[in-house]
Structure 1
């Protein structure tokens, strides 16, 4: 007996085609982002101001084009929802203030150990750290520093907009919200492997060291990408991931090895453990969709749409 024209087989084929379009669209965006860094040919290192300015211009252009990529994907995949492309990408006003404050607070809690560590090593303690953060002259110097602008402003803004804001809406209809959280960061992690080529070109280290460092970078960028993807899916905003990304770039990876060798090791280890415990306890309460209103990207989730509310 032949299947009806719009029967199960046709539906499976349609879903498979949609998933192919989703993955290919994400690959296209990742390639555009990384490829734009190498449009400018230069023998200078990546931290040279002229290289930074050119690369920032390139990734800002790709980020500006990312809504158009999402729009074309919606046409190809035959996606029809009430939300606009920018709303799907987390650019919206509803719940903006809590979306900016609460995920950042959660990230600061995770960094309790490193913050205590920095205060212990600062002769002025916590007051010195706070004074440094509020110093206007210090901020002026930062704004004039190309490396700071790249690491704290351009990279967090463009990477979150492309790898979370644009990719997650394209992955949710195919993979579902939970799987999308763990799939999108793989594109983000792989996108950082281009540093292997740069390290090779500059002959900074031998190949085994380059591969080890790049492997570690892939690991922590993927884990971090999963965290900001989680924030995006829970809040429906891209501002939280951007601010968390910027804060993490400013602090770097927590240095557990230095804490283990510190004269005040017991107190430091308690602060590291307390930060991690509080982070786990507050992870779901501070990202409760109650604070952020209806989440546009959830309208893309396959039925039941209630599954979009990750528990």
Structure 2
């Protein structure tokens, strides 16, 4: 009975630490007093400082909350998913799996010529000079995945079954995005419109968060979640409505790619994230013991 009470208390502490970490992450973005909107260069640069600060302190939350018997067996670095074993697979295989899911949108980019842009050196040169591009596709995925996956998931995995954590930790991630509600209202959106957008964003980010959590659980690599997050940010939510605007054979082919991508993704989800590919058996056993 005493052991059961200790386990419940430890789980409560883990959840509490995750909540505090979420609040700290969002709060770090609002410590700067500024009249500008979130896309203003000054705001973006200051928030870069905030997330860099979160990179430094987020592991402390994990260290405080993790069972010390786990740290006796595996280092904090391993728990954070900062490993070299299986690094090549961790970069490319989850990315390839996610590209399969986006076969439909990629087919549309092929049709409209957008895909050719990636082969242009000037596209990448101009992108790395663009603060918003750096924020959306580098800084945000890095900071969010490190905080909400690398630092939170080991805390919850010591208390709950793996698949429970996969569908629980995204709630912290999704709720954290509600801070955009305040920003949209400052931009002139009505409460109803801002709330509708935020609810959709909550649904989308929570859904993605579950996928990212699954990737982290299976690969044991932080880099996997970063690559997948950056790619999904770039692709955005699949625009099925645009697909219906195509005519004739082109429309049929694109819709078939949407269906094929979903079927292949479901079929390949487990094989391409097999933990042994990533030398992740040790991580898996430690965090679920």
Which TM-score band (shorter chain)? over 0.9
Correspondence for 1:237:
221
RMSD: 1.5
Correspondence for 1:6:
none
Correspondence for 1:35:
27
Correspondence for 2:275:
289
Correspondence for 2:209:
225
Correspondence for 1:102:
93
1:26 corresponds, among 11, 15, 18, to: 18
Runs of 5+ consecutive residues of structure 2 not aligned to the other structure: none
Deviation at 1:79, TM superposition (A): 4.5
The normalised TM-score by structure 1 is 0.89
Deviation at 1:296, TM superposition (A): 4.6
2:252 corresponds, among 250, 266, 271, to: 266
Correspondence for 2:236:
252
Distance in 2 separating the partners of 1:302 and 1:45: 43
Deviation at 1:61, TM superposition (A): 1.1
- Equivalent pairs counted in the alignment come to 287
Cα deviation digits, residues 41-69 of structure 1 (max 9, x gap): 11111111111111111012112211122
Distance in 2 separating the partners of 1:298 and 1:279: 23
Correspondence for 1:152:
137
1:278 corresponds, among 253, 256, 264, to: 264
| Match runs of 1:51-130 below 5 Å | 51-74=43-66, 79-122=70-113, 129-130=115-116
Distance in 1 separating the partners of 2:10 and 2:286: 12
Runs of 5+ consecutive residues of structure 1 not aligned to the other structure: 1-8, 123-127, 304-311
The normalised TM-score by structure 2 is 0.95
Q: Secondary structure at the match of 1:174?
A: coil
Deviation at 1:129, TM superposition (A): 1.9
Q: Secondary structure at the match of 2:151?
A: helix
Q: Indicate if the aligned counterparts of 1:37 and 1:55 stay in contact, CA closer than 8 A.
A: yes
| Match runs of 1:194-213 below 5 Å | 194-203=179-188, 205-213=189-197
2:122 corresponds, among 137, 151, 163, to: 137
Distance in 2 separating the partners of 1:293 and 1:171: 21
Correspondence for 1:182:
167
Distance in 2 separating the partners of 1:158 and 1:216: 22
Distance in 1 separating the partners of 2:200 and 2:286: 33
Deviation at 1:302, TM superposition (A): 4.4
Distance in 2 separating the partners of 1:21 and 1:71: 13
Q: Indicate if the aligned counterparts of 2:218 and 2:280 stay in contact, CA closer than 8 A.
A: no
Distance in 2 separating the partners of 1:11 and 1:80: 20
Distance in 2 separating the partners of 1:137 and 1:258: 27
Correspondence for 1:4:
none
